[in-house]
Amino acid sequence: MLFRSIVSILLVAVLSSSAPLLAQHYSNFMERDTLSGQTWRPQQAFSRADSSLQKLYKYSYFRFADLAAWQAKGTPVQVLEINDNAASRGGWQALRALPKLQRIRLTISNQVYFDSLMQVIGDLPIQTLEIGESFGDGARSSTIIIPATVARLSQLKEVMISGNDPNGLSAGLTSLAGVPSLRTLTIQSLGTPLGPIARIPATLGGLSQLTRLDLTINASQFEGALALGTLTNLERLTINHWGTTILESQRVAVGTALSNLTALRELSIPVTILPDTFNANLAQLRLLNLTSQLLHGKGEKQPDFPQLGPLPGLERLILSNLQVSPALCSYRTLKQLIINNNVIEELPACLGDMRLLEELSVVGSSLKQLPTSLGNLTNLTALSINYTPIDSIPDLFGGMRRLKQLSFSNNQVRYLPPSVSQLTSLTSLEVTNTQLRTLPDDLHKLADLRQLYLHENKLSRLPERIADLKALQFLTLDGNQLTQLPAGMGRLKKLKRLSMAQNRLTQLPGDLALLDSLYHLGIDQNQLTSLPANLGRLQQLRTLNLEKNRLVTLPESLGDLSQLSNLLINENPLVELPLSLGKLDKLKELTIRQTKLKMLPSTIGKLQNLAWLQVSQSDLLTLPTEIGNCSGLQFINLEGNPLIGLPASIGRLKKLLTLTIQGGENGVTKLEELPDSLRYCTELTQVRLGNLPNLAANEAFMTLLALPKLFQLDMVQTPLSQLPLSGWRESNVTMLNLSSNALTELPPALLEAPKLRTISLFENPLPKGVAGSFNHVDQLRVAMAEAGWATLDNLPRKSTHIAEGFIRSSGFHAMKQEWSEAEDDLTKAIGYAPDSVVSPMYAQRAEFYFFRKQFDKSFADIEQALANWPALKLPITMGNAPMSEQTKLTNRALWWWRKSVVRQALGQTDAALADINHTVTLLPPSMSVASSGRNLRYGSGGMPPARLEAMVYTEQGKLLALKNRFLEADSAFSRAMRAYELVPFADPGSHLTIVELGIITGQYARAKTALVRMPERQRQDGFALLAEYLKQAAQVAEGTSTGPDAVAALKTFINNTPGRIAGWSFELFDNWLNRTTLPTDRRDALRELTTLVKERQLKMD
């Protein structure tokens, strides 16, 4: 069984301190943009003084007064997001100066803030109000109650709510009943994910003004559906239910409620919450979307098409994850039929009788053929048959004269039937990612065709008369086998976009330059050695992609492309660019990578609109002096060139934001110095220098540090040996990467940098505790104090970052087996930690004591961790960001698991079993993967929910086995195995633990499957030995291999495989061997196998 040593745990703490916690939650409604205008979002990690970041992070604000200032300057603020951080800065009255604010998103967990903001915005013309979970700062709005003051929003039409608990939601709906203008309500996440039951609040029934309701229910079951029946003005109802089939009584309640909604025009609902027979009188219903939101494995039967009553006005029917029945043909009024993700192999022939049908779409099915009766659908305007194994199309299009859109993509089609050419109304034809080899020769008869998508096929030629498609505007031919284009392509006068990447073209026809309307030309990844001399006649061309060809030169006429804004010339053996490049006065982006260019033409200085210049992995020696005239240049990337210098004129680039200069594989960069004039590039926010062995790095650092708006500075693999002793207090640098240099010490003044947040010092000849990464200057301060370069005087008595620094330091001492020093640092971390983070500090020290076999001390600390758990708010790696409730619950369960393990080590088996049983009850609801059909793999904390659940059930099974409760033990092990199978990006230990548990529970097929799924890259050294050992053990236990054969095979493997085994405990397997009822010869063989592999186990002190 996999275990984690104190060294690995402390290393996790060290490494995680350099990366912020990523919120895993995602809400669809947060991405709905029904209103125009950009969303203004609060800055999370920057101060107001970082105003230069507005250029990189547009539409962000620090204080509400910033928004008022933008509004006063004529930039309207229409869509606004406010979180706890923004609200805590005060100044709410400034929001009254936003008269055009129409949509506001409040991700706030503080009820006082929420109420105050609602008071302030009450007179604004807000139409949409979103109340949701906060992603950036981890806060949850789970207890927020919408106040009665919401009624002041007289223009409010739409409200979206996510993450509210039942009590808060019920009270909030009562407030919304007082908003007469409200028409649309969205409620996300009603109930706990996979919780036992959720209740639709009765107060929902008071919102009789609603015309649209979107409701998502996460719990397995739900009650209160009758409240929906009072919303008699509803015209659109969507219910998503992520649970199992609900009880019959609940389904009857849903049917009763729907029967009252006689005004309903659109209904989206899972069939699993409808009654078996549903005969509601929904005469106004026009759209019905029926889904099965349960997961169905291969071979499992999908739900049947339900028995519906007469729906005389039904026009649109969408079926997802359902069986398709001929019964749907009874709805003769249908105009649109969409069938998604169905296991059907054929469509009902009666579909041909639905003569009013205008759109038919089948996506993601096992469909092998189409019924010829579809040819009777003469009113059809759109037909899509995508993502099916179908390999031929019957010739049935002769009567479909109204068809405008036809799509056959992601299937095995090789040919199109001749009757396709009779679709004279067709405007869009898409046949992509198929086995298509030829096109009908008379395709040119499609006179109205505007869009022809043929990428990712097997085409080796195009019809000779394709140029007669006079209406064609978009043509994609990427990923085919074309060697040439037919003559006359220049006659496609309306063609706007032509993409022919990944073919075998060696030349382009000259008349291609006659495409007067062309604005995008993609001819990358071909075999072109030249371009037409008249290319410059493409006067509307805006994007030209020439990547990955064999071009040595470009025509002079390139400069005549007067509208060109984006030019890509990557991976061509170009040795020069034409002087005419300087005539491209609208060029904004020039990307040149992997060429033989040594110089850029001097005329580049005429490109006043050029904002992005990348010349990388080429032979560039320097930039021309005229580069200083490119007044609009903001980004320069010169990575991977043998540069010998840069012109002083670069200092004239007043808008320059980012500069990247890194050595590459084309030869050692000989750059010795940066021009002093860089100090005049006062807008520079990001400088990245790397692999520059000849650079006068100390002087360059001094120059760059003085830049007033520098936010990020990377100097990696340079001769940097000394940091300046002063100038840090005036610096604005926030991110500093100085890895792989020659630094031997750090100046104390470095700690005075007011905005410094992250600093990386890996691979410098510094003391081990300093040569690493830090996500706060106070963490660095602790490391420098350990090195004798700084003091910890005059620091706050309680500091999360100082505590983090000591945790980090403890990890380095542990790796050097300096146990006393490691313990001292852990104790200091506890002393500095505020109450809000002290519990994980105790947990860290408990792990340390457990590893040192000081079980009494370990138990005392884990008790302290649990005692302080209620105050836990701030994760160690998140500074001032509140910890999410999910992570907090995860930690509690993890520490109770550890408490059980410590109890067992103390010989308290009964108490350990009681503790682990209690731990099972503490697993957060979204972690119930072992007992549910859903795979919730990710949590918001640092450990995947599935992994923690696997650990808990493994420990439970082990303890039950010790109490001779073997059936219960095997059940726990089976749950653990299933949870391990759901661990995302599983490490080798997880794969092997599944194998071990499969052997113990006699589930040999699952054990073998786990071995097969273990990637080859993970079968290295000790893990390779364990994999072979468990493979032979599984075969012996199952009886498919004899003991002597397995032992011989393992001995041979061990002799040929280097490496030691670390981080693996044989305790679980040994305990099982002592109780298993396998025949004696198998038990003896398993013991011999185990003894053999234990000899390679790394002994840890």
At 247, list the tokens: 């009880």
* 566 DSSP β-pair partners: 543, 589
Q: What is the dihedral of CA 202, 208, 213, 218, to 10 degrees?
A: 0
Q: Dig out the tokens for 873 from the structure.
A: 């708010």
Residue 204's contacts (CB-CB under 8 Å, 6 or more residues apart) are 173, 224, 227, 228, 231
Structural element, H or E, at residue 918: helix 909-922
Residue type present at position 491: R
Choose among 713, 724, 764: nearest CA to 748. Answer: 724
Cα 998–1001–1003 angle (5° rounding)?
A: 50
Which residues are 662's β-sheet partners? Answer: 690
Q: Do residues 1072 and 1030 make contact, with C-beta atoms less than 8 angstroms apart?
A: no
Tokens 């980004």, located at residue = 635
Residues 6+ apart with CB under 8 A from 1056: none
Whether residue 335 contacts residue 313, with contact meaning beta carbons closer than 8 Å, is answered with: no
Strand duo 612-616 + 277-278: pairing: unpaired
Contact call for residues 700 and 678 (beta carbons, < 8 A): no
As beta bridge partners, residue 88 has: none
Amino acid in the structure at residue 558: L
User: Closest by alpha carbon to 715, among 782, 756, 764, 752?
Assistant: 764
pLDDT of residue 936: 34
- The CATH code of domain 183-294+302-323 reads 3.80.10
pLDDT digits (tens, 9 = 90+) for 1013-1069: 788 888 888 888 888 889 999 999 999 999 999 999 989 998 888 878 877 888 888
Q: Does residue 246 contact residue 273 with C-beta atoms inside 8 Å?
A: yes
Identify whether the C-beta of residue 660 lies closer than 8 Å to the C-beta of residue 688.
yes
**Which of 574, 749, 252, 222 shows the shortest CA–CA distance to 591?**
574
Q: What does the domain layout of the chain look like in residue ranges?
A: 38-155, 183-294+302-323, 986-1101
Rounded Cα distance between 647 and 649, Å, is: 5
pLDDT digits (tens, 9 = 90+) for 469-515: 999 999 999 999 999 999 899 999 999 999 999 999 999 999 999 99
For the chain, which ranges sit under pLDDT 50? 2-36, 45-57, 134-142, 193-194, 295-299, 667, 874-883, 926-941, 1100-1101
